Amino acid sequence: MPDRGAKLGPARTDALRVVHVEDCVDDAELVSLELLASGFVLDYLRVDDEAQLLAALASFGPTMVLSDFNLPGFCGARALELVREHGRGVPFVFFTGSVDSHLSEPGDRATPDAVVLKDDLRDLPSRLRQILAGVVAAA
């Protein structure tokens, strides 16, 4: 079931709207706390399966998708495919403990905008800012 978290009051137009594909509630909470502590205004939704991700892409309007790579019953690579297919250009970041080595191989597979390991949580806010700055510059 999707978890709403880190929403402070009514939705704000300047909020970073994050869909986080994550099965571990504790990991999701650590991410939202780190982003809030780094100054992001955050509207946050955690999902953990394909149906929830598709619903979030359709109705939540994310500005960023974070995803674990290894999920029980769902795969980060599939999440990336869905975001590329249905996300209308929404940036995608793997935030994971480990990544499939085939992910970085050239070819026709979708590639994420960034990969940040869970051990490097403190690097996540700066990577998101870099990605968002690139999105704004490209617009």
Residues 116-123: contacts with CB under 8 Å, at least 24 apart: 118/27, 121/30, 121/31, 121/34, 122/34
Return the pLDDT at 127.
95
For residue 62, give the nearest of 97, 82, 37, 87 by alpha carbon: 87
- pLDDT tens for 90-119 read 999 999 887 665 555 444 457 899 999 999
- pLDDT tens for 43-93 read 999 999 999 999 999 999 999 999 999 899 999 999 999 999 998 899 999
For residue 32, give the nearest of 47, 42, 23, 22 by alpha carbon: 42
Range 17-44 average pLDDT: 96
Return the pLDDT at 108.
44
Domains of the chain: 23-100+109-138 (3.40.50.2300)
Report how far Cα 120 is from the mean position of its chain's Cα atoms: 15
